[in-house]
């Protein structure tokens, strides 16, 4: 989401009643929750020209005075805004340089803006432990402000420290008051906590509230609204509601044409609805804007399904090339690379080593899932069983988690659990992955055949 200008909006004027973090509990009764209706999507104006003009102004200001730490802080903020809008990591490198230069000029004790920028850069770079530690320091320096708690909660969430993250978000909510964008941020985070704990209905309600609040701002922020609409599409897709997912993705693209996240998600949902050609077209559009490894791998899979094997191989090679380049600069694509290798039965031992190393320091449920899936492919069944138990510990309703659990159960000979988990995955989201969903169906068919053979043995088998 874009860098947010703090604009005070009267909640009474908006006429809103929203659930707070203090009231939220995992597995709450979703039927009692209400969400705000959304207006039809419309094109929102871009402030790109103004942003680029401001960036050029600040860059010139720094050329004149390299020790202008305030200009460095503002520049880092604008660079991070461009990362959110475009996904271009060149802006992330620029933001990192600006934040670090600012703090080298004036230490954090007198320069909380520089420390804020650094913590945000680290979060975007997937350096979550460093982001958490700097957010804690920021909270010490700014104990009455809400934004350190937001950064801290986000980092804790990614590290799998869920109770601590919820507490940080509660503090953020208490300190944030009724500022419009602070309320948007709160609703987004309640939604994230709800979906992690398996309450998809609550997550949808809160994300819809976040979207409505963002639209109610005097000047709605285009990327913030598009991100919220895209998130609604993600929630719908993971629930198997492909029609709703497609509509939300198209709404995001109406709001923000060529929004790369929504283009890729639209490609996925078109393929899930049986339109592989349409899915390919959308992924190709997304990759022209941003060759994100996840998009590249997904396009390769759709090429493979369409029988375009040379083009699939080219996308897989591109994925590997991007992953190799990223290894030198940090941890941004480690998990994607490990999962890609596991999905495609490539370098199983290296994939497991990569996932296990990350999970040793980042204990979130999806890190556990990556460790479990790669352990299975590396033939490390006890490790796979332990990790998938961790991955399922919150009750998250994600078909891929159930699929991985089912395949691990199959490998250890637990046919009943395998059958139950695989059926659960396909009932929740029948086309959760264009290749892995087919593997789930094939495995279920194999389990059924084995059961039939045991129930009706041949004379030779007596």
pLDDT at 148: 97
Contact between 235 and 195 (Cβ < 8 Å): yes
Q: Which of the residues in the chain have pLDDT under 50? A: 1-20, 23, 26-33, 459, 461-462
Q: How far is CA 103 from CA 106, 279, 341, 372, in A?
A: 5, 45, 39, 40
Report d(CA 253, CA 181) in Å as an integer. Answer: 21
- What's the confidence (pLDDT) of residue 108? 98
> In angstroms, rounded to a whole number, what is the distance separating the alpha carbons of residues 373 and 12?
49
**Of 448, 321, 202, 78, nearest to 189 (Cα)?**
202
State the pLDDT at residue 329. 60
Percent helix, strand, coil in the chain (nearest 5)?
75, 0, 25
The two tokens of residue 355 are 């996932």
319: its two tokens: 């994925």
Q: Please give the pLDDT value at position 344.
A: 98
Determine whether 83 is exposed, middle or buried from the number of CB atoms within 10 Å of its CB (0-12, 13-18, 19+): buried
Token code pair at residue 342: 């596991």
d(CA 369, CA 214): 33
Structural domains of the chain, with CATH? 1-31+47-220 (1.25.40.10), 339-457 (1.25.40.10)
Q: Say if CB 131 and CB 123 are below 8 A apart.
A: yes
pLDDT digits (tens, 9 = 90+) for 122-140: 999 999 999 999 999 999 9
Per-residue pLDDT, 178: 57
Contacts of 386 (CB under 8 A, 6+ apart): 372
Token representation of residue 142: 């700014």
pLDDT for the residue numbered 11: 31
The pLDDT assigned to 324 comes to: 85
DSSP 248-304: HHHHHHHHSTT-HHHHHHHHHHHHHTT-HHHHHHHHHHHHHH---HHHHHHHHHHHH
Q: Tell me the C-alpha distance between 361 and 334, whole Å.
A: 13
User: Hunting for tokens 């992955």 — which residue is that?
Assistant: 433
| pTM for the full predicted model | 0.91
């Amino acid at each position: 989401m874009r860098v947010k200008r703090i604009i005070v909006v009267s909640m009474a004027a908006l006429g809103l009643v929203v659930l707070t973090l203090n009231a939220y509990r995992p597995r709450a009764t979703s039927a009692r929750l209400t969400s705000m209706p959304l207006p039809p999507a419309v094109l929102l104006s871009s402030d790109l020209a103004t942003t680029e003009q401001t960036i050029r102004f600040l860059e010139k200001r720094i050329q004149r005075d390299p020790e202008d730490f305030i200009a460095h802080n503002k520049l880092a903020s604008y660079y991070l805004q461009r990362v959110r809008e475009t996904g271009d990591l060149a802006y992330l490198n620029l933001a990192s340089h600006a934040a670090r230069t600012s703090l080298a000029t004036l230490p954090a004790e007198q320069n909380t803006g520089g420390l804020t920028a650094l913590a945000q850069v680290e979060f975007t770079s997937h350096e979550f432990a460093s982001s958490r530690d700097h957010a804690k320091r920021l909270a010490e320096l700014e104990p009455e402000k809400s934004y350190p708690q937001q950064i801290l909660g986000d980092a804790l969430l990614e590290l799998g420290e869920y109770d601590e993250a919820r507490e940080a978000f509660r503090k953020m909510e208490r300190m944030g008051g009724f500022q419009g964008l602070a309320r948007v941020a709160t609703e987004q985070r309640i939604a994230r906590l709800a979906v992690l704990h398996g309450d998809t209905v609550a997550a949808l309600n809160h994300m819809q509230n976040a979207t409505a609040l963002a639209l109610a701002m005097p000047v709605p922020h285009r990327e913030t609204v598009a991100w919220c609409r895209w998130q609604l599409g993600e929630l719908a897709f993971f629930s198997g509601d492909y029609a709703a997912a497609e509509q939300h993705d198209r709404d995001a693209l109406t709001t923000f044409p060529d929004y790369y996240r929504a283009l890729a998600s639209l490609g996925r949902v078109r393929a899930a609805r049986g339109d592989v050609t349409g899915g390919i077209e959308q992924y190709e559009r997304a990759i022209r804007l941003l060759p994100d490894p996840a998009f590249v791998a997904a396009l390769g899979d759709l090429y493979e399904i369409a029988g375009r094997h040379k083009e699939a191989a080219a996308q897989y090679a591109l994925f590997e090339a991007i992953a190799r380049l990223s290894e030198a600069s940090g941890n941004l694509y480690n998990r994607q690379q490990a999962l890609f290798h596991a999905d495609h039965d490539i370098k199983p031992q290296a994939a497991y080593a990569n996932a296990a190393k990350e999970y040793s320091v980042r204990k979130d449920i999806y890190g556990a899932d990556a460790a479990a899936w790669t352990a299975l492919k590396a033939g490390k069944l006890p490790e796979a069983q332990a990790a998938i138990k961790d991955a399922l510990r919150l009750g998250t309703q994600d078909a891929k988690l159930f699929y991985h659990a089912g395949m691990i159960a199959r490998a250890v000979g637990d046919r009943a659990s395998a059958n139950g988990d695989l059926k659960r995955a396909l009932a929740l989201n029948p086309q959760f992955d264009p290749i892995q969903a087919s593997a789930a169906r094939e495995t279920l068919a194999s389990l059924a055949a084995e059961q039939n053979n045991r129930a009706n043995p041949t004379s030779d088998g007596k």
